[in-house]
Structure 1
């Protein structure tokens, strides 16, 4: 995330990050459903309304990097090498994020805590499903834009849906792999192996389109 140049924006960002850090610590310690907004405000040393000014919903504090993740996908397609098909661009992005130890693909004790907190809360599970659906729409639009097609292109919608299904299965499998042996490298390899395999199928499904 880029740092704002003006002092007021930097202060606002610091307040937001402070709230997020305090909330995440409480969620991990006690479970999402057992933490109140008032407790988060007290832990972050801000007022209740300040919390809501930054995060309209409590679950937004847990998934506070959602928009940043969407922008990573958009930017990868905007800046893609025109000689490389969009589907391959996103496969390469998965490999780059793993190599860079991206927090979005964190197969470690911290990442496991994140997953376990979601699994223990129906509210978080519902929001995670909604984010996945929203992300499919983001990817669909980004795919269509990068090849000069209309946002409603059904081929882009199909490609985005198959891509998100692949990444979701790979993500879940990687966390299960980590849970079994606490081996981050093995979990990362498991994630990428499924992404690569899914990409082969995705390219076959999208053959004859500019996405493959």
Structure 2
């Protein structure tokens, strides 16, 4: 029997995430219920919802990191915002961070998202939230149109990620995927500099 646990705390959250990820990847996102995740985690369904208001957030759990990365990039003192955003996306690629799509677990992640309309819809909502966060941060310092730059950056980075996902799902060689990813990032920032930020 799974052991019971207190309601809150980072250890409870981490255990719920770990259990959910294992079940989702094993059986598919839509075939797993919150009740099953709670039971296997040794907590109640209420506790799961206390940590993750929506089921989709159990799988798309990096969004808080993404918001913080964007805030930190825009707030970097004495650095051009496009330089800072480019450094951020390059660092994500260097680290093979999950948000780059280059992580070794990204293939199973992409397969799971591609197989679930609910996850696809939620991912679009989260991208819109990230765009709003970026717009609000840019409005503090950017001399141009913050909403336009945020929209172009998010659309561009999403396009880079979708192509990386397509190549990963097609099982292209990892080195080729990474090189193409970096080339597309360079093209994105060239376009941003020559367009909206000029």
Of 164, 168, 171, which aligns to 2:154? 164
Alignment-derived partner of residue 68 in structure 1: 65
5 Å-filtered alignment, 1:39-118, equals 39-80=36-77, 82=78, 84-118=79-113
5 Å-filtered alignment, 1:19-58, equals 19-58=16-55
Q: Give the alignment's Cα RMSD to 1 decimal.
A: 2.0
User: Per the alignment, in what secondary structure is the counterpart of residue 139 of structure 2?
Assistant: helix
Q: Deviations over 1:89-112 (max 9, x none)?
A: 111211111112212114255201
User: Per the alignment, in what secondary structure is the counterpart of residue 145 of structure 1?
Assistant: coil
Q: Is the 8 A contact 1:166 1:194 kept in 2?
A: no
For 1:139 and 1:185, the matched residues in 2 are separated by 31
Q: Is the 8 A contact 1:166 1:198 kept in 2?
A: yes
Q: CA deviation at 1:165?
A: 1.1
TM-score by length of 1: 0.83
Q: Deviations over 1:3-47 (max 9, x none)?
A: xxxxx9xx6001001001111111111111111111001111111
Task: List runs of 5+ in structure 1 lacking aligned partners.
Answer: 1-7
Q: CA 1:26 to 1:181, structure 2 compared with 1: closer, same or farther past 3 Å?
A: closer
Alignment-derived partner of residue 126 in structure 2: 131
For 2:26 and 2:172, the matched residues in 1 are separated by 20
Q: CA 1:186 to 1:141, structure 2 compared with 1: closer, same or farther past 3 Å?
A: same
Moved over 4 A (4+): none
Matched residue count: 193
Q: CA deviation at 1:192?
A: 1.7
Of 139, 164, 167, which aligns to 1:174? 164
TM-score by length of 2: 0.89
